[in-house]
Amino acid sequence: MDAFILPIALFAIFYFIVFRPQRKQQKEKTKMLSSMKKGDRIMTTGGMYGTIVSLKDDELTLEVDENVRIRFSRGAIAQVIPAEERAKEVVKK
Protein backbone atom coordinates (compact mmCIF):
# COMPACT_ATOMS: atom_id res chain seq x y z
CA MET A 1 0.00 0.00 0.00
CA ASP A 2 2.84 2.38 0.82
CA ALA A 3 4.29 1.81 -2.65
CA PHE A 4 1.21 3.43 -4.20
CA ILE A 5 1.03 6.46 -1.93
CA LEU A 6 4.38 7.99 -2.96
CA PRO A 7 3.72 8.02 -6.75
CA ILE A 8 0.22 9.37 -6.21
CA ALA A 9 1.53 12.12 -3.91
CA LEU A 10 4.26 13.04 -6.41
CA PHE A 11 1.73 13.21 -9.24
CA ALA A 12 -0.55 15.45 -7.14
CA ILE A 13 2.32 17.80 -6.30
CA PHE A 14 3.44 17.88 -9.93
CA TYR A 15 -0.14 18.60 -11.04
CA PHE A 16 -0.53 21.60 -8.72
CA ILE A 17 2.91 23.03 -9.53
CA VAL A 18 2.98 22.54 -13.33
CA PHE A 19 -0.26 21.54 -15.03
CA ARG A 20 -2.82 23.64 -13.18
CA PRO A 21 -1.03 27.03 -13.57
CA GLN A 22 -0.32 26.27 -17.23
CA ARG A 23 -3.98 25.48 -17.90
CA LYS A 24 -5.07 28.67 -16.09
CA GLN A 25 -2.65 30.74 -18.18
CA GLN A 26 -3.95 29.13 -21.39
CA LYS A 27 -7.56 29.94 -20.42
CA GLU A 28 -6.63 33.59 -19.76
CA LYS A 29 -4.92 33.89 -23.15
CA THR A 30 -7.89 32.31 -24.94
CA LYS A 31 -10.23 34.73 -23.17
CA MET A 32 -7.99 37.68 -24.11
CA LEU A 33 -7.82 36.62 -27.77
CA SER A 34 -11.58 36.18 -28.04
CA SER A 35 -12.35 39.53 -26.38
CA MET A 36 -10.21 41.66 -28.74
CA LYS A 37 -12.10 44.27 -30.71
CA LYS A 38 -11.49 46.91 -33.34
CA GLY A 39 -9.55 49.87 -31.92
CA ASP A 40 -7.69 47.90 -29.21
CA ARG A 41 -3.97 48.60 -28.88
CA ILE A 42 -1.99 45.34 -28.76
CA MET A 43 1.54 43.96 -28.70
CA THR A 44 2.57 40.96 -30.81
CA THR A 45 4.83 38.16 -29.64
CA GLY A 46 7.59 39.78 -31.72
CA GLY A 47 7.26 43.04 -29.76
CA MET A 48 5.45 45.07 -32.43
CA TYR A 49 2.78 47.47 -31.19
CA GLY A 50 -0.29 48.37 -33.22
CA THR A 51 -3.97 49.17 -33.22
CA ILE A 52 -6.51 46.65 -34.49
CA VAL A 53 -8.14 47.88 -37.71
CA SER A 54 -10.07 44.74 -38.67
CA LEU A 55 -10.74 41.27 -37.30
CA LYS A 56 -11.53 38.03 -39.09
CA ASP A 57 -11.87 34.49 -37.75
CA ASP A 58 -8.19 33.66 -37.30
CA GLU A 59 -6.42 36.82 -38.41
CA LEU A 60 -6.42 40.52 -37.73
CA THR A 61 -5.02 43.63 -39.36
CA LEU A 62 -2.93 46.04 -37.31
CA GLU A 63 -2.12 49.61 -38.08
CA VAL A 64 1.44 50.07 -36.82
CA ASP A 65 1.92 53.57 -38.23
CA GLU A 66 -0.06 55.99 -40.34
CA ASN A 67 -1.24 54.08 -43.44
CA VAL A 68 0.94 51.06 -42.57
CA ARG A 69 -1.15 47.92 -42.02
CA ILE A 70 0.07 44.39 -41.37
CA ARG A 71 -1.93 41.16 -41.11
CA PHE A 72 -1.27 38.83 -38.17
CA SER A 73 -2.60 35.55 -36.90
CA ARG A 74 -4.55 35.81 -33.63
CA GLY A 75 -2.02 33.45 -32.06
CA ALA A 76 0.73 36.02 -32.64
CA ILE A 77 -0.83 38.45 -30.15
CA ALA A 78 0.96 38.56 -26.81
CA GLN A 79 -1.18 41.08 -24.94
CA VAL A 80 -3.81 43.77 -25.17
CA ILE A 81 -2.55 47.09 -23.83
CA PRO A 82 -4.94 48.40 -21.14
CA ALA A 83 -6.52 51.83 -21.60
CA GLU A 84 -4.58 53.21 -18.59
CA GLU A 85 -1.25 52.45 -20.24
CA ARG A 86 -2.43 53.97 -23.52
CA ALA A 87 -3.29 57.18 -21.68
CA LYS A 88 0.24 57.26 -20.20
CA GLU A 89 1.71 56.88 -23.71
CA VAL A 90 -0.28 59.87 -24.96
CA VAL A 91 0.83 62.02 -22.00
CA LYS A 92 4.51 61.18 -22.66
CA LYS A 93 4.23 62.35 -26.27
Distance CA 27, CA 32 (A): 9
Nearest to 78 by CA among 14, 35, 32, 38: 32
Instruction: Give the CB-side neighbour count of residue 35, counting CA atoms within 13 A.
Output: 10
Q: What is the mean pLDDT of residues 8-18?
A: 90
What's the pLDDT at 83? 74
Q: What is the mean pLDDT of residues 15-37?
A: 91
Distance CA 64, CA 50 (A): 4
Q: pTM score, two decimals?
A: 0.69
Q: What is the mean pLDDT of residues 31-44?
A: 92
DSSP string of 39-70?
Answer: T-EEEETTS-EEEEEEE-SSEEEEEEETTEEE
Report which residue type is found at 15.
Answer: Y
What's the pLDDT at 86? 58
- Is residue 92's pLDDT more than 80? no
Distance CA 74, CA 38 (A): 13
Return the percentage of the chain with pLDDT > 90, whole number.
Answer: 59
